[in-house]
Structure 1
Amino acid sequence: MKENPQYDEIDLKFVNAVDEVIAVNSELGIKPNNDSSIGKEVYPTNRSIVSAVRSRSKHIPHLALINFAKRFNIDMNYFYNETPLMYQPPSITNITVKGNSIQSTGNNSTNINAGKGKIQGIYTAETGSTNTLVEVVEVNTMINNFISQIDGERVKQFLTIISKIQMESKSSSDKLERILIEKSEEIKEMRISFKKEMRELREELKETRDKLDVSLKREVDLLRELLNERK
C-alpha cells in the first residue's frame, strides 16, 4: 500500500472511531463489538476490512466510511477535519405497550405483536400513562437511553463510573468467594474434628459400658453368694 499522508490520517481516524465504538458497545454489552462484526456491516464485500486498515495493508474505502458514519450516526466531517467523534450508542425510546403488541421509536425502532396471544409480565406504558417499564427493561437499554441524552464528554465520565462499579462489583464477588471458600474449609475442618470427637466419644461410651457390665456382674455374683449363705 502506497503511503499517502491524507489517506493515512483518515485511516487513523477510522481506526480510532472503531476503537471507540467497540469500547462503548463492549461496556454496554451490545453489538457490534469487534472488528469483524463492524467490518461486515460497513463493508460486506470484505468483512476483514477493519483489520486490513489496522495493519496498514489497505486504506479504508470511501463507501465503508459512508456506511460507518450512517450505521453509527457519526458526522462524516470527523474524518476530514477537527469535528469531534461524539459516538452515542443506539437507544430505544418512546416504548408503548398496548394490548398484544409492543412498539417503540428511536435508533432501534421495533414492533412486536403477539397475534391472538397476550403479552404478559410487563407494565403498560401507553402515552400519558404513569406506569413504567423500569422493572422489566434490561439494564443495558436503560443505560443506552440515559447516554443518548448526555453529551460526549459526560458519556466518557459515565462509562468510567459504570466501569468502576463493575470492577467494585467483581472485587466484592471475589471477596465473597474467598470468604465462602474459607468458611467451606472451616466447615470441613469442623466436620473432621466432629468425626474424631464422635469416635472418641463412642470409645468412651464403650469403655463405660464395659465397666458397667463388670460392675453389674460383680453385684450379681455378690448377691448370689449372700443368698447361698442364708440357705
Structure 2
Amino acid sequence: MTFPIDQGARPTPSDRTAPAQQWRIFLDLADLSGPGEQVITCHALAERTEVGTETLGSVVSFLQTVGLVRGARGKYAVTAAGWAIAEMQRRDETQARLLLQAQFLQHWSARAARAALQDAPVDQATLGQRLCPSVPGKARRGTYLVEWLVLALVVHRDASMKICPSAALTAAAGAVPPQQPPGAQSAPEPALLMGMTHSDLRALPPQHYMALLDHAATLVDLVSA
C-alpha cells in the first residue's frame, strides 16, 4: 500500500539535537526575546543555551516554519504565537501543548501525517519513514518530526510506540478515522480527546480538564466555520 504525501516544501527538524533539547532552545529564545518580540542574535542564544550556532541555526529554521520564531541571518525573535506558548508553558504544560497543536495543524507535517496514518495505528519508525522518505542519510529527521507531532498532540503514541491520529488532527482534516482493509484484524484503539486518552484526562486537575474542554469547543467552532 502506498501513502501519497505532498512532495512540495517539507522542512524537517534538525537532526543535530533531540526534540526535547530543541524545545528547550525555543523556550530560551522566547525568554530572551520576551513579550515585546525583541530581536536577539544567534550568538546571544548560543551563550544562553550553550549550543553551537550552527546547531541553533538548523533548529530555529524549523521553528520558523511552525510559526514560533521569525527572522533570518542569525537574528531572531519570538512570534506572538510563540510567546503565548512559552508563557503558557510556565503555568500549564498541557495548555501550552494545545496551543502548539494549533500551530502544527497548519504545518505540512500534520497533513502528511494524516495521509501516512491511513492504516493506523503504525509504529513510530514507520511513520517517520513515511513522512521523510527522501532525505538520504537523515533518518533521524523523520523520527524527530514524529516526536514533535507527539509533543503537539497532533498524533497519539501508546505504550507500544504505536501511533494514531489525534481527534484534533482528524477533525482538522475533515475526515473520518482511518479504516482497516477488509478482513484485517485490528487492536482496539483508545478513545482520544485532543490527542489525550481517558486515563490522561482523568489525571488532569479539574481546572486543567475544564480548560481542555474549552479549547476543544473552540477547535470545533474553527473547523465548522
**TM class, shorter-chain normalised?**
under 0.3
Structure of larger gyration radius: 1
TM-score, L = length of structure 1 = 0.23
Larger RCO, structures 1/2 (Cα 8 Å, 6+ apart)? 2
